[in-house]
Structure 1
Amino acid sequence: MPGAVAVLDVGKTNVKLVAFSRDGTILEQLRHPQHVATENGLRVLDVDGIFGWLEAALADLRRRRDLSGIMISTHGCAYALLADDLTLAAPIVDYEQEIPAAANAEFARVTPAFTETYTPELPGGLNFARTIFFQEWADPTLSARVRHILTYPQYWTWRLSGALASEISFLGCHSHMWNPLAGRFSALAVNRGWAEKFPPFAPAGALVGEREGFGVHNGVHDSNAAFFYYKSLGFSHFTLISSGTWVIIFNPDCPLDRLDPARDMLANVTVDGEPVATIRFMGGREYDVISGHARQEVSEDMLRRAIARDQMALPSFAAGGPFPARAGRLVGPAPESAAERAAIATLYVAMMTAQSLDLVSSTGDIILDGGLALNGALCATLAALRPEQSLYRNTNAEGTAMGAAALAFRALGRASVFPRDVGKVEPWPLPDLAGYYARWRERA
């Protein structure tokens, strides 16, 4: 179909290249596993491996499709430091890299107030200003060698086209770099000399360069792309649950003064520069840990049995989230099969999601997007836990990539006409689910 757009969607676990027509049809989808390497004792992203795969995949896709351009969405908390000769001045650090205690102690003395950046203190490199600070702390010559700081989607925009740009939704993603209420760089970013190293801003989706005759669009933070997608479909006053490795919950109707930084609550910034209350936990990762990576379909009877036996997983099985100081554990009779582990994991993610919805004051419609939207048992359980709210899910699980494509089409002046393809979830009648949730909350 003429004028299709390809989306490079770089997640924490997988990298995808998805081609979309203007009507939202997925024409093709190619996948590549994400890889984290080690360099000088640091966890670093294998960007050369991704780029080698991307070049081959894109050339193959262009032989079969008439692409007008490529758009990028990526997970948060990664960035590239470019030297004067436009080579990497340092490797791109994975956000799960631990930061030494001495560097953390020094960073704590300059960390902005929560009410300036609406960024909580998160572990590892989940505040990317902390990671830049650590790299400069470890190598005092680094700052003088860095000419440009590129956020991760913009690194791929540059790698594909040579265009240098910045973008608001990624910079405002719990980075400590941005003041969302004032709409400017934080005092930390200015005082450290970082603000002046970011290239000029361009809107997410803007056509900023080209590669071999087709356009390269300015990239976007992945969960913000999903949020834009559902707004573009006409939803309003809704809570978005964007899921994958992380479960990230946006509620634009929650006042920012209700955010508790100790519980991984923060303000994201939308593609249009608006702050939006957010809470997060690593739900996809935790599901895999609890279930033992089981790919077992969970039935209503399996959930009823786990509830009746009071089999529970209590938080947390990954860093961050609303219970950051707790170590995950199982209570009740030990699971005896993959099916039982999958049922317990499903209930755990449903409990954590319901708790997060409470914390972020969600009362309107809920939209579940991403990988967990394919888990019918989880959706039906969550619908049963929120009887006063309507829960919808996108069963193609590609809201992030679709939002990125819609941004590119908007920039081209060809508004996307994606279908409003979300279905309402009917709750399962699970006896004593409310009691199970109350017991879970008390124990958690």
Structure 2
Amino acid sequence: MSAHQPIAVFDLGKTNSKLFVIDGNGTVLAERRTKPIWLDDGDLRVLDDGTLFAWMESELARAVETHGIRHVTFSAHGCTFALIGDNALRHPILDYEQEPPADIAARIDLFIPSFAETFSPRLPLGFNYGRHVLWLADRDPEMLEETDAILAYPQFWSWRFSSKAVSEVSYLGCHSHLWAPLADDFSSLVDAKGWRAKMPSFAVAGSHLGIYPVTLGSGEHVDVAVHNGVHDSNSSLFYYRSLGFEDFTLISTGTWVIIFNQACPLEALDQRRDMLANVTVDHAPAATIRFMGGREYDVASDGWTKPISVAAIEAVIFKGSFALPSFAPGGPFRHSEGRFAGPAVSGEERAAVALLYVTLMTDLSLDLIHSENAIVIDGGLVKAELYAPMLAALRNQTVFTSSNPEGSAFGAAALVLRQAGLQPFLNETEEVRPALINGLDAYRREWRRRVEAMHSQAPDGAVSKEMMR
């Protein structure tokens, strides 16, 4: 392939699934969106993969006809898997936001490996997708026996288009309980349950897997090369490394705020704080902390989608209105239930409190992950105009954002181009000017005092005093 040949990237999020057509200059030639449909199937919630596949087929054909696409790849959200047998899905794809029944959880959780082995904390729901595999195995042991391949979510779509089943390390290494980063091998859970034979051979993210024939409206048949997919946040991490960033902290934002800092030693990770080791596309452990910041903002702001002014931020700071964690599962305060404190707020002021909350949660998470290097912010929160400037005002670090916030899609494209020895994308990140917000530092100190007070009562204990600067 040439550097100028456009690539189709399906960027498959939990809430929104997108197609980007990206050329070698980093220009988005086309963008399409849909929402994946999650259905109730008896006592389970599952993906309507057929409807999503039909949309993907249609949009890929359009991209081939309109833009001459000859390559397609995938970037996908975490915590999701597919069981394949006899060249078909053996079970519908589970929504990771559901908890196994208590009696089943008590049985399956006995098999979970130690944090010292996997650097994967014990998380609720299906945030460790190995736990959901255990759940399905407990529900229907025969189904697991008849499963040929346990595929991570992006590899499911690579398989669906190429018919080739493979594994990929960045997804397996994403708090799945299935990977041991220091051993660079499957975890003891995989061998204890006899699943190693069900894990396909590895292929590098972006590598060529096969051909998908597209039939155009004219009747012409076009072969599209299908490439191996990648975990979305790890894709963003690769993208910024490909632009020349080396020692940096990445804040990848969307439904989740996921913070990577490879300069943080793994021994500093505290599993009680939703800290873990991800694994890069090149098999390197990457210290990570996360919270469901996009979801929490939606909940705390009551769905606010309009801009938020400095005046609104300063008004709620002056009033002393706070949002306290957590408004979604997981994160550094997973035993605390989100609530508001101080004078009641509504409308834009409620949204301002929510944005301050997400900013302060990010700030605290950066301290927990020992971030002292440059910061790059990618993803949806870049579009919240005051998020990055307020964070820059709170940190004694250089903060960058990208005019292109779609790092996961661009990382997936860059991985395909890397296979051809190409690295055409230019670094167009910009340094963020810190916001001038009256009272922000004092508000931050009071917010931290409050979260310390409430969290000291939680089973996981208090935030350490050095976090209370």
The TM tier, using the shorter chain, reads over 0.9
1:365 corresponds to 2:404: no
- Superposition pairs for residues 291-306 of structure 1, below 5 Å? 291-306=301-316
Cα contact 1:204–1:218 (8 A) shared by 2: yes
Return the letter of the residue paired with 1:312. Answer: F
How far is 1:2 from its partner? 5.6
C-alpha distance in 2 between matches for 1:343 and 1:99? 36
How far is 1:155 from its partner? 0.4
Runs of 4+ in structure 1 off by over 2 angstroms are: none
- Superposition pairs for residues 141-290 of structure 1, below 5 Å? 141-212=142-213, 213-290=223-300
Aligned residue for 1:208, secondary structure, equals strand
C-alpha distance in 2 between matches for 1:397 and 1:179? 31
Return the letter of the residue paired with 1:234. Answer: G
Aligned residue for 1:396, secondary structure, equals coil
Query: What do the CA deviations read for 1:400-424 (whole angstroms, capped 9, x no partner)?
Result: 10000000111133x1311211111
Return the letter of the residue paired with 2:73. Answer: M
Return the letter of the residue paired with 1:418. Answer: F
Cα contact 1:228–1:271 (8 A) shared by 2: yes
Residues 428-437 or 163-172, more deviating: 428-437
**Corresponding position of 2:131:** 130
**Residue 57 of structure 2 is aligned with which of 52, 55, 58?**
55
**Corresponding position of 1:76:** 78
Cα contact 1:374–1:395 (8 A) shared by 2: no
C-alpha distance in 2 between matches for 1:412 and 1:17? 22
Return the letter of the residue paired with 2:96. Answer: Y
Aligned residue for 1:63, secondary structure, equals helix
C-alpha distance in 2 between matches for 1:140 and 1:167? 25
| Aligned CA-pair RMSD | 1.1
Return the letter of the residue paired with 2:245. Answer: F
Aligned residue for 1:250, secondary structure, equals strand
Return the letter of the residue paired with 1:13. Answer: T
C-alpha distance in 2 between matches for 1:304 and 1:75? 35
C-alpha distance in 2 between matches for 1:113 and 1:127? 13
Aligned residue for 2:107, secondary structure, equals helix
**Residue 351 of structure 2 is aligned with which of 338, 342, 345?**
342
C-alpha distance in 2 between matches for 1:412 and 1:49? 33
1:112 corresponds to 2:113: yes
C-alpha distance in 1 between matches for 2:167 and 2:143? 21
C-alpha distance in 2 between matches for 1:169 and 1:195? 17
Aligned residue for 1:267, secondary structure, equals strand
Cα contact 2:108–2:138 (8 A) shared by 1: no
**Corresponding position of 1:394:** 402
Query: What do the CA deviations read for 1:386-405 (whole angstroms, capped 9, x no partner)?
Result: 1x101111132111100000
Query: What do the CA deviations read for 1:152-177 (whole angstroms, capped 9, x no partner)?
Result: 10100010110111100000000000
**Corresponding position of 1:20:** 22
Query: What do the CA deviations read for 1:165-198 (whole angstroms, capped 9, x no partner)?
Result: 1100000000000000010000111111112201
Aligned residue for 2:320, secondary structure, equals coil
C-alpha distance in 2 between matches for 1:74 and 1:317? 24
C-alpha distance in 2 between matches for 1:328 and 1:412? 48
Return the letter of the residue paired with 2:232. Answer: D
How far is 1:100 from its partner? 1.1
Cα contact 2:64–2:70 (8 A) shared by 1: no
Q: Relative to structure 1, is the Cα distance of residues 3 and 254 closer, same or farther in structure 2, using a 3 angstrom cutoff? A: same
C-alpha distance in 2 between matches for 1:403 and 1:340? 36
C-alpha distance in 2 between matches for 1:219 and 1:39? 27
Return the letter of the residue paired with 1:349. Answer: V
Aligned residue for 1:330, secondary structure, equals strand
Query: What do the CA deviations read for 1:99-146 (whole angstroms, capped 9, x no partner)?
Result: 111122112222111010000011100111110101111113222111
C-alpha distance in 2 between matches for 1:265 and 1:364? 18
Query: What do the CA deviations read for 1:275-333 (whole angstroms, capped 9, x no partner)?
Result: 00000000000000011111121111111111111111000000000000000000111
C-alpha distance in 1 between matches for 2:36 and 2:83? 21
**Corresponding position of 1:432:** 439
Aligned residue for 2:88, secondary structure, equals coil
Cα contact 2:4–2:25 (8 A) shared by 1: no
C-alpha distance in 2 between matches for 1:416 and 1:214? 21
Query: What do the CA deviations read for 1:1-20 (whole angstroms, capped 9, x no partner)?
Result: 96211001100110001011
C-alpha distance in 1 between matches for 2:110 and 2:43? 26
Aligned residue for 2:386, secondary structure, equals helix
Residues 139-148 or 204-213, more deviating: 139-148
C-alpha distance in 2 between matches for 1:2 and 1:370? 25
**Corresponding position of 2:385:** 376
**Corresponding position of 1:11:** 13
C-alpha distance in 2 between matches for 1:341 and 1:416? 44
Aligned length: 440
Cα contact 2:321–2:342 (8 A) shared by 1: yes
Return the letter of the residue paired with 2:138. Answer: W
TM-score normalised by structure 2 residue count: 0.92
C-alpha distance in 1 between matches for 2:84 and 2:262? 35
**Corresponding position of 1:442:** 449
Query: What do the CA deviations read for 1:3-51 (whole angstroms, capped 9, x no partner)?
Result: 2110011001100010111111111111011221111210111211110
Cα contact 2:288–2:369 (8 A) shared by 1: yes
Aligned residue for 1:241, secondary structure, equals strand
**Corresponding position of 2:89:** 88
C-alpha distance in 2 between matches for 1:102 and 1:18? 43
How far is 1:66 from its partner? 1.5
Q: Relative to structure 1, is the Cα distance of residues 81 and 254 closer, same or farther in structure 2, using a 3 angstrom cutoff? A: same
Cα contact 1:2–1:68 (8 A) shared by 2: no
**Corresponding position of 2:420:** 412
Cα contact 2:20–2:29 (8 A) shared by 1: yes
How far is 1:357 from its partner? 0.3
**Corresponding position of 2:342:** 332
How far is 1:432 from its partner? 2.2
**Corresponding position of 2:34:** 32
**Corresponding position of 1:45:** 47
Aligned residue for 1:159, secondary structure, equals helix
